[in-house]
Amino acid sequence: MLRLLYAREALSEITGLTRVERKHVTEICAEECGDKMTIISGVNCENTQESIEMAREAKEAGVDGILLMPPHMWLRFGMNPNAPFEYIKDVAEGADIDIIIHLYPATSKAFYPVETLIKMCKEIPHVKCIKVGTRVTAIYEHDVRELRKHCPDISLITCHDETLCVTWFTGMDGALIGFAGCVPELITGAWEVFSHPEKHTLKEAQEWSNKIYPISQAIYGGGQPSGEAHARLKETLAQRGIFKSALMRKPVLPLDQEEKDWVAEGIKLSGLGKVDMSKFA
């Protein structure tokens, strides 16, 4: 499994931070944990040149690689079929940095077909991993099987926070999810079972999935990660005593009491408690 500390996307509001703040957060992560785990920093930008600049800044801050998201203009307007390959290639070469490709849902206009992913993996040496967020089960399994067949050296990790254990059944190499920062004891416990199937039973896998489900529902409500879901992630961290504040930057608005109670119920049903942060001081 890739042991990753993902610096910004879910818990530090990647698009809510300035470039200076993004670099500073990444520097802190690299300084505190860089000798223990792989540090990946998210790059989310609307043009190639600035993506290269942000990737270089991340490299200067001490990361091992970047998670490269598609320009979000593609989500609304679509893209030239050749554009994703050129984008990944230009950033990889321009910043000289290893890349995890962030694959967006198959229902979006920014989805990369499996043929494009295979081409990226085979022809761009800096591509090391794909964060698979297909969110259409039949396409997800088909594409994972094709990537395993044609690109066996590429790591495949899920980003389906809301259906984590289900997507691990395809034999993934891990996960890259902001959700893990809220409930690491559940995620690592479940991963131990799914990553060593020869030592565990299907019943154990189901039991871990049942533990994760309530808090997953409280945060995602059966939907995909969103600004509001990120606010519920922070609320979870605050209620567990890990964060002092759950405040998000606008335009994400504060949760109302009903939403906070929903999170509290998810924490309770998943058997989670307060975390004594003094142990880590």
Cα–Cα dist 104/117, whole Å: 12
pLDDT under 70: residue ranges of the chain: 1-14, 222
Cα–Cα dist 62/206, whole Å: 38
Q: Where are the domains of the chain?
A: 1-176, 183-281
> Rounded to the nearest 10 degrees, how much is the dihedral formed by the CA atoms of 276, 269, 160, 135?
-160
What does the pLDDT read at residue 14?
A: 67
What does the pLDDT read at residue 15?
A: 77
Smallest CA-to-CA distance from 29 within 53, 58, 52, 68 is with 58
Strand pairing report for 127-132 and 38-43: unpaired
- CA distances (Å), origin 265, targets 41, 42, 122, 239: 32, 31, 46, 11
Q: Rounded to the nearest 5°, which phi and psi values hold at 209?
A: -60, -40
pLDDT tens-place string over residues 137-170:
999 999 999 999 999 999 999 999 999 999 999 9
What does the pLDDT read at residue 24?
A: 93
Amino acid identity at 121: C
Residue 43's DSSP bridge partners are 68
**Domain 1-176 top-level CATH class:** alpha beta
What does the pLDDT read at residue 52?
A: 98
pLDDT tens-place string over residues 262-279:
999 999 999 999 999 888
